[in-house]
Amino acid sequence: MTSTYAAGGGLFGLAPLIIIFPLLGLLTNLLLGRRMGERFVGVVACLAVVASFGVAVSQLVALLAQPEGARVVVADWIAIGSLSVPWAIQVDTLSVTMMLMVSGVSTLIHIYATGYMHEDVRFQGDPGRYTRFFVYFNLFVAAMMVLITGDSFLTLFVGWEGVGLCSYLLIGFWYEKGAGGIGNAVAGKKAFVTNRIGDFGFLVAMFLIYTTFGSLQFEEVFLRAEEMGPAGAGALTAITLLLLVGATGKSAQIPLYVWLPDAMAGPTPVSALIHAATMVTAGIYMIARNHVLFELAPATANIAALVGAATALWAASIAVGQYDIKKVLAYSTISQLGFMVAAVGLGAYVAGMFHLVTHAFFKALLFLSAGSVIQGVERGHHHAAGHAPPSSGRAEQAFDPNDMRHMGGLRSRMPVTFAVYCIGALALAGIPPLAGFFSKDEILAEAARLDPVVYILLTSAAFLTAFYMGRQIWMVFFGQPRSGAAAHAQESPIVMTAPLAGLAVLATLGGALNLPQVHSLSRWLGHTLGEVEIGEFRWQVAALSTGLGLLAIGLSWVLYGRRPLAQGADDPLRRILGPLFAGMERKWGVDEAYNFLFVQRYVDLSRLLGDVVEGRFWHDWFHDRVLGRAYRDGTRWLSDGFDLPVIDGAANGLASLTRAAAGRLRTLQTGYVRTYALFLLLGVVAVLGYLLFR
């Protein structure tokens, strides 16, 4: 399937640059950014990503000439015993598709971010963070490229963790903001911890892969898995299930999706790039990359399909009840990721990858437009508040520029944003001929062919998708402004609207990648994914989903468009759906349930371990009582029972013995001459007596 670089075309040798360019960009900004100012930082960061995109294009050109791809070995990385993992870059149609998508979308988002972050750091009152933002952003691109290009599970894992780190850093970018001054930091922590749970699954899967197949490189593992046949079914099911756990963490699927809505605490370009277009698709990419394993484990693939479909419907239902413009999009992202996971679970890898790419286009577009709306409203708010300087009071903190209930009537105030938002929303809703229609329809057609349950779930999700996007558009752009801020909202600068226009074009034309009957993407990815079944276009499926989409948009018009929401009025859905809407609004209480089931239990366990086991048992009882007292008693005995009587006694006893003996002997010294003479005599008598009688 692949050959080494030596056999490939010269262009493949450029592949490592796709990681190196963003790294260079971030190093430059890290060293010089503070000194050189915003413009320099923005240009360097953008150029780094543009260069990456150039490399991706060069790989595309190289692949067109040699579609089987190449493996570019950069360095010997790990060699321990029988484990040998070189750092090699896998250039094949799958990875190059991801490279193009990631670097292309990143480029547009980077350009947008130079404008957005200029405003954002000004609103939030810390211009010094501009540089840091772009350093993280470039780091993210580099890590994502490592993830995509890795030719082994271990390299993929490095990227996997790297993007997780960047996600954490960027969610908590305004770490001092949010509820209670720690809300954003808590959101970052939640994302990181939830991802760790998925990563744990991925890690264990890697261990299992190594023990089962003796290698971590994709190519070898796949070969051995195929050789193994039915004998390895059990191990393969375990491995793929654990990989699926990893995917549910990174790609925000049930049960680990809860971090993604909170991740919206990050600046909007972060939400667009990391939490919509690129990082969260890593799980789908990983499954597609391991399609061989998943094909050999049909049970896991089934579970993946069901998890994806359930997530799609579940998240779509929550999105209906949200008021935060970004939260709606976040749940929409989860829902669309569910579509992709369902697709790869069904074995429709091409459909999944196709939707991944088009989703990146229109979801990035939607998020960036939402960012434009938010900043427009913020500008309007400052205008309405009488040109108050940024972050000047409490009232400012209380105003939430993300709340769709404060918006309305922005159509005339922000015409460009409105236009592109409509394109994004229609693409997401799956209205032809926009990109989302083709990709979503391919998934639905596959589902209809393979699994009716998944099909019903996904179609319902598609219906809800069209409904909540319609609701959002009517609430944000139509009717009368529901706050002074919305009334004075201003359009964003060209540096932000230009990338929006670019993404709008992609969201419109993205469907051309894999048109029915032509199937260019299917053929292209077929080089990597093997001979893929080219799904036939089903008119009835397409007609049904389009009809449902239009119906949902019409329904949303009846509810939100015909009679626009008045200022302070309640959502009309609440009257119709009652407690069902309350459930959607509260996200079905999943956060609370997790909090009760896991977080509180974990806190209880920690408290038990900390207070009872560590505090009372180890510290109070074992250390203080057992060890401390034993030591104290031991030393007391040694001091009172041994040192004082024996050691001191010996020394003192010797002294007093000497003193007593001396006291006795001194009485011999009478000072009288005759006494001495007598002793002399006695001595002489004794000596003579001895000499006589010996």
Binding site for other proteins (CB under 8 A): 665-674, 677-678, 681
Q: Give the nearer residue to other proteins in terms of CB position, either 651 or 678.
A: 678
3-state secondary structure of 563: coil
Q: How far is the CB of 661 from other proteins (least distance, A)?
A: 13
Tell me the longest C-alpha to C-alpha distance in the chain. Answer: 150
Our CA angle for 74, 78, 82, nearest 5°, is 125
In the numeric block, the tokens 């992609």 are attached to 506
Q: How far is the CB of 669 from other proteins (least distance, A)?
A: 3
Q: Give the nearer residue to other proteins in terms of CB position, either 80 or 692.
A: 692
Q: Helices in 172-290 by DSSP H: which ranges?
A: 183-213, 218-228, 233-250, 259-262, 268-272, 282-289
Q: Is the peptide bond before 433 cis (omega within 30 degrees of 0)?
A: yes
Q: How far is the CB of 676 from other proteins (least distance, A)?
A: 9
Distances (CA, A) of 245 to 204, 257, 313, 325: 10, 11, 19, 29
Least Cα distance to 144 among 43, 286, 29, 257 occurs for 286
Q: Give the nearer residue to other proteins in terms of CB position, either 75 or 662.
A: 662
Give the whole-angstrom CA distance, residue 108 versus residue 651.
90
Q: Give the nearer residue to other proteins in terms of CB position, either 65 or 665.
A: 665
Q: Give the nearer residue to other proteins in terms of CB position, either 35 or 666.
A: 666
Q: How far is the CB of 689 from other proteins (least distance, A)?
A: 15
Q: How far is the CB of 665 from other proteins (least distance, A)?
A: 8
Q: Give the nearer residue to other proteins in terms of CB position, either 647 or 678.
A: 678
What number of CA atoms fall less than 13 Å from residue 336's CA on the CB side? 38
Give residue 604's Cα distance to chain centre.
26
Give the whole-angstrom CA distance, residue 421 versus residue 406.
18
Contact 114, 151 (CB under 8 A): no
Q: How far is the CB of 693 from other proteins (least distance, A)?
A: 18
Give the whole-angstrom CA distance, residue 332 versus residue 481.
25
Give the whole-angstrom CA distance, residue 338 versus residue 353.
13
Q: How far is the CB of 642 from other proteins (least distance, A)?
A: 38
Q: How far is the CB of 666 from other proteins (least distance, A)?
A: 4
Q: Give the nearer residue to other proteins in terms of CB position, either 391 or 658.
A: 658
Q: Give the nearer residue to other proteins in terms of CB position, either 627 or 684.
A: 684
Q: How far is the CB of 653 from other proteins (least distance, A)?
A: 24
3-state secondary structure of 646: helix
Q: Give the nearer residue to other proteins in terms of CB position, either 641 or 663.
A: 663
Q: How far is the CB of 680 from other proteins (least distance, A)?
A: 10
Q: How far is the CB of 658 from other proteins (least distance, A)?
A: 15
Least Cα distance to 473 among 556, 552, 533, 538 occurs for 556
Q: Give the nearer residue to other proteins in terms of CB position, either 617 or 676.
A: 676
Q: At what angle do helices 93-124 and 282-289 cross, to 10 degrees?
A: 170
Q: Give the nearer residue to other proteins in terms of CB position, either 642 or 676.
A: 676
Q: Give the nearer residue to other proteins in terms of CB position, either 398 or 665.
A: 665
Contact 69, 2 (CB under 8 A): yes
Q: How far is the CB of 675 from other proteins (least distance, A)?
A: 9
Q: How far is the CB of 667 from other proteins (least distance, A)?
A: 7
Q: Is the peptide bond before 415 cis (omega within 30 degrees of 0)?
A: no
Give the whole-angstrom CA distance, residue 618 versus residue 614.
5
Beta strands across the sheet bearing 3-4: 3-4, 70-80, 83-91
Q: How far is the CB of 683 from other proteins (least distance, A)?
A: 13
3-state secondary structure of 388: coil
Q: How far is the CB of 663 from other proteins (least distance, A)?
A: 10
Q: How far is the CB of 637 from other proteins (least distance, A)?
A: 44
Phi, psi of 359 (to 5 degrees): -60, -40
Phi, psi of 451 (to 5 degrees): -150, 105
Give the whole-angstrom CA distance, residue 7 versus residue 4.
6
Residue 384, H or E segment = helix 349-384
Token readout for 129 is 């963070």
* Residue 74 CB contacts under 8 Å (≥ 6 apart), including other chains: 16, 86, 87, 88, 89
Q: Give the nearer residue to other proteins in terms of CB position, either 65 or 673.
A: 673
Q: Give the nearer residue to other proteins in terms of CB position, either 626 or 678.
A: 678
Q: Give the nearer residue to other proteins in terms of CB position, either 674 or 694.
A: 674
In the numeric block, the tokens 């094949």 are attached to 92
Q: Give the nearer residue to other proteins in terms of CB position, either 650 or 681.
A: 681
Q: What Rg, from alpha-carbon coordinates, does the chain have?
A: 37
Q: How far is the CB of 678 from other proteins (least distance, A)?
A: 6
In the numeric block, the tokens 């019903």 are attached to 456
Helix (H), strand (E), coil (C) string for 424-458 = HHHHHHCCCCCHHHHHHHHHHHHHHHHCHHHHHHH
Q: Give the nearer residue to other proteins in terms of CB position, either 673 or 692.
A: 673
What secondary structure does DSSP assign to 79-137, as a single string? EETTEEEEEEEEESHHHHHHHHHHHHHHHHHHHHHHHHHHHHHHHHT-TTHHHHHHHHH
* Residue 389 CB contacts under 8 Å (≥ 6 apart), including other chains: none
